[in-house]
Chains A and B, each alone.
Chain A
Amino acid sequence: MSEKSLQIVSLSVAVEGKQILSDVNLTINPGEVHAIMGPNGAGKSTLSNALFGKAGYDVTAGAVTLDGQDLLALPTWQRARAGLFLAMQYPTEVPGVSLHAALQAAGLGYENGELSDALRDEAKRIGFAEHFLDRPLNVDLSGGEMKRNETVQLGVIKPKYAILDELDSGLDIDALRMVSERVEQATQESGLGVLVITHYNRLLAELKADKVHVLSGGSIVASGGPELALELENSGYAQYS
């Protein structure tokens, strides 16, 4: 298969022997934004961790391809280099390691000085104070600062597809607007395909979802357009559980 898309086909995932996801199907085309919403414990973060090959998340069935490439056959770092990005719900502190040093080792192809420039440019685009870039990764950053730091990386790494795991949590209203605008721009500028995991409709005010999916009990139980997100916000997930 060589068509351009991130395809998740009949994906089932177990954690410590317990089946968390069953038969999840999603196709994200370049430039599309898909939102996954669902109650706590629905398996949303399991999906993002499994897509990235995190230890402990065992794919028991199904396939995932990125522009035709078998993603599940690759170790985590090669999935990233294939064009997948994960904005983590809880970015990990890495003491003593600067963002610049980390991205320099990520094989991004920036020449001398270009990476620093790109980091500064991206920080500016989302109103992230430049001095945060010099901090060790995620160390002494507030929740909102971590999310902006993830968004800076998204802009610099320029992936083909991004999974945004609760990118909105911890962001104040202005930051939320700038971050979601930035992701929306990436969908238009570079055709970034986005899978956004969220509880709230507010992220989708600027970041226009093409499709909204309800994940409940480890399966996608409903899919629809942006109106589904509004409906969920008004009536909750009770009808889907």
Chain B
Amino acid sequence: MKEIFSTASLADLDAHPIREQSVASMAGLSLPSTEDEQWRYSTLRDVLTASYQPQTSMPKVMAGKNDELVANPAATITIVNGWVLEIAIDAAWEAKGLSVSKEIAGRSQDSWAEDIFDYAHQAYTPQTLTITIAKGLAVEEPIVINNYHNGDAVASFPSIKVDAREASHVSIVERQSSSVSAALSVNVTAFDVAEAAVVKYLAVQNNGPEHIQLARIFGTVASQANLNVGLASFGGSYSRTRSDIRLAGRGATGDLNAAYYGDRHQVHDFRTYQHHDDRDTQSNMLFKGVVDDTAGSIYTGLIHIHPEGAGSNAFQTNRNIKLSDDAWTWSVPNLEIENNEVHCSHASTVNPVDDAQRFYLESRGVPPLEADQLIVAGFYDEVLQKLPVPQAHGAIASFVDQKLAARRREAAEG
């Protein structure tokens, strides 16, 4: 097998010792195998066959034009192939204490890296987009991040850090998109949510059909604070998001919801960790997805109630609709409970479209394909209502509609 990453120069990147250290660490690593618990069920090996050139110099391409997701954003940031190229911040919010900047990579010397992609990110991420919300500041308009990838066999390493100070509020929507070329992006997004702060984050992924995205999300949530993460995943050939949410202070809450739809040969791969480190913490997780054609989805997740987590509530639900016999899903929720004074539940289902629902609609005169379309769109309704940043929900609904319309077209063409 080829090396995953071609040799890349660090010359154009800000110097940081972690880069060289990480390059050295990568030398001994290869593509993770399914023997590794974090990569169990993963079919990445089947699709990641090329060698990717890290984007270690400023890209010359610009982002593709997108419709506005949100009117009057507090800030708009453009990231291309991992490089933060544009930051436009509303002066009024900046004056009140919203700061958006790019900082040198290397979040810290503490290594969070576990596999070759993590080390590659530490080595090659050009800058970290850092969003800081001052203590007590409630930013009323969402921040929009356009995260774009372009270029064949290019590897990019976007890095975003959100630092929500005490009792601050912020909403962020990140649109992840790419050209039709076969590129790889390794994304890392980290949230530090201080006491009584509220952070809402929605990632809307509609990458090009050959794009591979491997994302990690880290969240640390302090006492009485809330981190609400929403994932809407529609594009790409292989799209993985691993979320590690740590409820670190008493009364911290975390919400983690996802809507995904895979068709053709797409794979959506989700790993979640809900860590309850302290008392009276609460986490709610609902992932709902549809797979069609030969597409697949993987969900595995762990609720971990630590010994100090008395009084915690934790819920983990994954529901899937399989629209074709050749589509596949792995759905594996897990619990690890080290304190008995808690409420926890997990559930997972994989079903075709419900015959009784389809019959009901057909009995009103709705043709079967349209009935399926209504049922599938309706299936998402529950999770769409839970996703943060409602201003962007119209875009998500239209991605679902596009998928279903394509399905109807294909059926009509026989």
Total A-B pairs in contact (CB under 8 Å)?
Answer: 78
A4 at the interface (CB under 8 A from B): no
Contact present for A76 and B362 (CB under 8 Å): yes
Q: Is A221 an interface residue (CB 8 A)?
A: no
CA distance A204 to B371 in the complex (A): 34
Nearest chain A CB to B272's CB is how many angstroms away? 23
- B364's nearest neighbour on chain A, judged by CB, is A106
Chain B, residue nearest A99 (CB): B364
> B1 in the interface, Cβ–Cβ < 8 Å?
no
A97 touches which of B355, B363, B378 (Cβ 8 Å) = B378
Answer whether residue A136 sits at the interface, using C-beta atoms and an 8 A cutoff: yes
Q: Is A73 an interface residue (CB 8 A)?
A: no
How far in angstroms is the closest Cβ of chain B from A139?
10
Task: Please report the C-alpha to C-alpha distance between residue A80 and residue B371 in the assembled complex, in whole angstroms.
Answer: 14
Determine chain B's interface SS by DSSP, over half rule: helix
A184 to B234 Cα, complex, angstroms? 50
Kindly state the separation between the CA atoms of A217 and B380 in the bound complex, as whole angstroms: 44
Given contacts A86-B363, A88-B363, A96-B382, contact A55 B355 (CB under 8 A): yes
Q: What residue of chain B has the Cβ atom nearest to residue A49's Cβ?
A: B359
Contact of A136 among B363, B364, B381 (CB under 8 A): B381
In the complex where A105-B370, A105-B374 touch, is A94 in contact with B357 (Cβ < 8 A)? yes
Asked if residues A75 and B380 are in contact (CB atoms below 8 Å), the reply is no
Within 8 A of B (CB), among A71-129: 75-77, 80-81, 85-86, 88, 91-97, 101-103, 105-108
Asked if A216 is an interface residue, CB under 8 A from chain B, the answer is no
- Among the interface residues B360, B362, B363, B366, which one has the most CB atoms of the partner chain A within 10 A? B363
Cβ-closest chain B residue relative to A48: B363
The CA-CA distance from A102 to B373 in the complex, in Å, is 10
Given A55-B359, A88-B360, A94-B360, verify A105-B366 contact (CB < 8 Å).
yes
Residue of A52, A103, A105, A107 with most partner-chain B CB within 10 A? A105
Q: Cα distance A128–B366 when bound, in Å?
A: 24
Q: Are A94 and B365 in contact (CB under 8 A)?
A: no
- Name the distance in Å between A28's Cβ and chain B's nearest Cβ: 18
A92 contacts B356, CB within 8 Å?
A: yes
Q: Which of B379-395 contact A (CB under 8 A)?
A: 379-382
How many Å lie between the Cα of A81 and that of B366 in the bound state? 9
Q: Please tell me if A7 contacts chain B, counting CB pairs below 8 Å.
A: no
Contact residues in B for A80 (Cβ distance below 8 Å):
362-365
Shortest beta-carbon distance from B147 to chain A in Å: 29
Contacts of B379 in A (CB 8 A): 95-96
B364 neighbours in A (Cβ, 8 Å): 80, 102-103, 106, 153, 157
A–B Cβ pairs within 8 angstroms, 28 of them: A52-B363, A55-B355, A76-B359, A77-B362, A77-B363, A77-B365, A80-B363, A80-B364, A81-B365, A85-B363, A92-B354, A92-B359, A93-B357, A94-B357, A95-B379, A96-B380, A96-B382, A97-B361, A97-B374, A97-B375, A102-B361, A102-B366, A103-B364, A105-B367, A105-B371, A136-B381, A153-B364, A157-B364
Interface positions of A (Cβ within 8 A of B): 52, 54-55, 75-77, 80-81, 85-86, 88, 91-97, 101-103, 105-108, 136-138, 153, 157
* Contacts beyond the supplied A77-B363, A105-B371, A105-B374: 8 A-B pairs with Cβ under 8 Å: A75-B368, A80-B362, A85-B363, A86-B363, A92-B356, A93-B357, A102-B374, A153-B364
